[in-house]
């Protein structure tokens, strides 16, 4: 993370990244409003609803990261997210919040795959491939959540980050 920050925290590149996220959020919400009533089929609905969740997630996530960086003067690293994921009652919010974001990402990819792919691969039809993407996403969500919580090893949250959980 420290090595990549030289690239993505460059004021020019960071501005482009933030602009790209807000363009995604704006266009995604417009598409959601326009197409939500006409959506039919599992993957078309999954595309809309996963995109809707990701749009909301990105707005809240970026707001939290900038508040952590600019207001709390924290390094928004792994401890920034892990503080809430490992503290009761905060994990009752943060585990579903992050878990749904990961699942929504894979759901969005699976639904786009179902819409855009025209042929089967290795004898697996397009819808089966999309379901496989969803299953991989579910396993990735479980692995990531277990890795960031006390399920495997837990994190010793440094004192500076305990402000995130009211301590």
Beta bridge partners of 124: 121
Q: Is the pLDDT of residue 133 over 70?
A: yes
Residue 42: other Cβ atoms inside 10 A? 15
Model-level pTM?
0.87
Domains contained in the chain, number: 1
Give Cα separations from 45 to 36, 94, 162 (angstroms). Answer: 7, 25, 39
Domain that holds residue 48: 2-165
Q: Are 82 and 157 in contact (CB under 8 A)?
A: yes
Each residue's pLDDT tens digit, 90-101: 889 999 999 999
Q: Is 76 exposed, middle or buried (0-12, 13-18, 19+ CB in 10 A)?
A: middle
């Amino acid at each position: 993370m420290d090595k990549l920050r030289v690239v993505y925290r460059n004021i020019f590149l960071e501005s482009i990244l933030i602009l790209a996220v807000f363009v995604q959020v704006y266009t995604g919400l417009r598409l959601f409003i326009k197409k939500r009533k006409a959506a039919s089929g599992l993957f078309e609905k999954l595309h809309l609803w996963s995109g809707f969740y990701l749009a909301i997630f990105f707005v809240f996530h970026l707001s939290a990261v900038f508040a952590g960086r600019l207001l709390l003067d924290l390094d928004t690293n792994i401890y920034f997210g892990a503080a809430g994921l490992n503290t009761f009652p905060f994990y009752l919010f943060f585990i579903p919040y992050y878990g749904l974001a990961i699942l929504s990402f894979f759901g969005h990819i699976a639904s786009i795959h179902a819409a855009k792919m025209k042929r089967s691969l290795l004898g697996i039809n397009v819808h089966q491939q999309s379901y496989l993407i969803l299953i991989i996403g579910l396993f990735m969500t479980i692995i990531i959540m277990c890795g960031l919580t006390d399920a495997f090893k837990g994190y010793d949250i440094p004192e500076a980050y305990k402000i995130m959980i009211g301590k």
